[in-house]
Each structure stands twice: as C-alpha cells, then as structure tokens.
Structure 1
C-alpha cells in the first residue's frame, strides 16, 4: 500500500508543534527585559566612560559622563584634552539634558577636592553656584542644590538624605575624579581669587 506524503510529514509536524508549545511555555515564565532597560542604567553615549550614575526618585537617571580615554590621560588634569559632563535622562530614555552645554568646557564647571575625612569629591556648578555633589564614600549620599540647577533641568522632590534612589555605576568614579581639576586650578582657569 503506497504511503501518502501527508502521512510522512504528520509525525514531523506534531513533533515541531510540541516543541514550539514547550518553548512558549518556558518563555512565558522568564521575565522579558525592556529594550530600554539596559540603556537606562546610565545616560552616557555608548563609547563614553560612565564615571557615576544613579536612578533618581521618579525614574530619571543622572550620570557623570566622560570622553573615551578620558581616564587614561597621563598628564595634568588641566591639560586633559577630553570632555566631561552631567547627563539627565527621563525614565523612558527620551528627554536627555546635559551640562555644561559644551562638554569641552567642563573645567570651568567641575572641580574636585578632598573632604576632612579624606574622601575625594566632585562638585558641579552653574553660574548660580554649586548644584551637584558626590564623593568617594559609598555611604555618603549624593546631593543637589535645586536652586542652582542648569536652565531647563528639574529634579524630583527631595526624598530623604540622598538625591539617588539607587546607584547604578560607581566603578570609574575614582579614576574620573583624578582627571578633573581641583578647586585652585578651576579658580585660576576662571581668573577667580581663591576665597580661602
């Protein structure tokens, strides 16, 4: 008795259908990551160094970004040809704000120092005054002065001690801070007379 082509393919189709159903059943138990989830761990460009990044209350992400190779510069920080800036991106990853507007001018807006407890810190300032502060002490909260924010920036209301709800990146903070000018270098660059 001749065997039809349909009867030859029927077991193969049943097997494929069973495997497909098993794959669907297994997949439904696995969480599916949003395509934006990975990029929302920081607000920097893909090739840039992420010096620091944290998620704010409300889902915004605030990051300290630097040019590729910024942390590898071997000269004095005042001579570093790279760039650095703060970036703020909303929870959907759509609205991105940066400061300073020209990241190559970061030396006029960012400076480092050392706390009395010997922790290196970073301050970012607008023309109004200091608005962002972070230091190397993992226990120390990150803070912002909302009155001094760059034009167009808004931060969520203060929820306790720290601006950050969750720190996402901190691995390159030390090496990034080493490449940013200290307060005296910044004052000299701006032609300011130190007040201390």
Structure 2
C-alpha cells in the first residue's frame, strides 16, 4: 500500500498570494509587521492635555492680576517687566500695561488698550471716601472694568462701556471672577496709575473740553 506523506502545515506552500508573499519575508520583517498591525489596531494615541493657563501675560511681563471669569475664560492685567517697581511719579512711568481676556488653553482673544503704551489714556487710580483704592480701565464711553482690594469682588465690569466685541455683555452684576484669583501685585499696580483728577484733566485737554 502506498502512503502519501503530507508535508507539515508549516512547510506547505501557501496557496493564497498574500500568504505566499508573507511566507517569503524574513522573520524580523514579520515581527516588525506584527508590531505595526498591533499599533494600528490600538488606534491613535490621545494627545496630551495642555495645562490650563492662569494668566495671559507674556513671560517677560509682570502679572498685576488674573482670575477665571464666570464663562471660564481668563482675565489678566499685565504690564512690562518691573512695571510696578517704578520709583518716580506715575505719569513718568516708561512701561506699559493692558488687560487681556482669553481661553484657558492660552489663546488671547481680547486686549485693551490697542497700544499698551497708551495705558495712561485708559487707566486711572481713585481712592474712595472710605480710603479704599480702586483702579479703572476706560474707553471713550467711560470705565468698563474696575479692580479693587475687595476680597469678595476684586474685579467687576460695566458692559455698556466695554470695547466692541468684548465678552462682558453676558456678565451679570457682581464679581467678574469665579475662581482662581491671583492678586499678589494689584496694589502696587494701582500705585502706578495716574489719579482720576489728573486723568480727567488730561482727557478733557485732549478732547478740547
């Protein structure tokens, strides 16, 4: 009786063209292919989540104030390096200052004034009857943002006077800030602003009043 001895399965030549090509590959190539297929099956890796920003000032600038707003954006008061350390009169401070609003992911969406070097035309200092210091940021319509040393409401807004497009119209009365407040330098920043009387005189002079 004649027996036909079959080749072991591993030794048989694959009948499918793709299997035939794979069987001709070196072992190292097959291993690499296996790793690649496994990686593809696992799907793309999720991008690492960026750490939320706590302010929108540039690295070389001084943070005067920052907080997270009710709509979860970030408000910042920024100034040039050592802005709040100037020793002369506030009107002679050669630095710059501005306020900014942007996303927690670091995208700056709004800044004011358009030229931070013109901050003296838009920011001023005032002391209330109760001797509390206040700082205001104003457009031609009037002040639209106010900073104080009040623990409960360190920043608030008057949306009617805000620059066009600023996201303050939805802010209700009360504090702008919802959480995460950095107020370490707000007092020294206020001290660098010209007082309200001088600011109004300068403004009236520039408008011919």
The verdict on a shared fold, with TM-score over 0.5 as the criterion, is yes
* Structure 2 equivalent of residue 120 of structure 1: 133
* Structure 1 equivalent of residue 9 of structure 2: none
* Structure 1 equivalent of residue 87 of structure 2: 74
2:198 maps to 1:185: yes
- Counterpart Cα distance in 1 of 2:103 and 2:134: 25
Indicate the SS of the match to 1:97: strand
Indicate the SS of the match to 1:74: coil
* Structure 2 equivalent of residue 153 of structure 1: 166
Given candidates 148, 152, 157, the residue that maps to 1:139 is: 152
Moved more, 184-193 or 145-154: 184-193
Rg bigger for which structure? 2
Q: TM-score, normalised to structure 2's length?
A: 0.70
Shift of 1:121: 0.6
Alignment check: 8 A CA contact 1:53 1:168 kept: yes
Q: TM-score, normalised to structure 1's length?
A: 0.74
What are the superposed Cα offsets for residues 152-192 of structure 1, whole Å, 9 maximum, x if unpaired? 21137235621110142100001111111111221232235
Alignment check: 8 A CA contact 1:52 1:65 kept: yes
Indicate the SS of the match to 1:78: helix
2:78 maps to 1:35: no
For structure 1, list consecutive stretches of 5 or more residues without a partner in the other structure.
1-32
- Counterpart Cα distance in 2 of 1:68 and 1:41: 18
Moved more, 85-94 or 173-182: 85-94
Given candidates 63, 82, 96, the residue that maps to 1:50 is: 63
What are the superposed Cα offsets for residues 59-100 of structure 1, whole Å, 9 maximum, x if unpaired? 111111110011111110000000000011123322431100
Indicate the SS of the match to 1:117: coil
Given candidates 100, 119, 122, the residue that maps to 1:87 is: 100
| Structure with larger RCO (C-alpha < 8 A, sep 6+) | 1
- Counterpart Cα distance in 1 of 2:164 and 2:174: 24
Number of aligned residue pairs: give it: 159
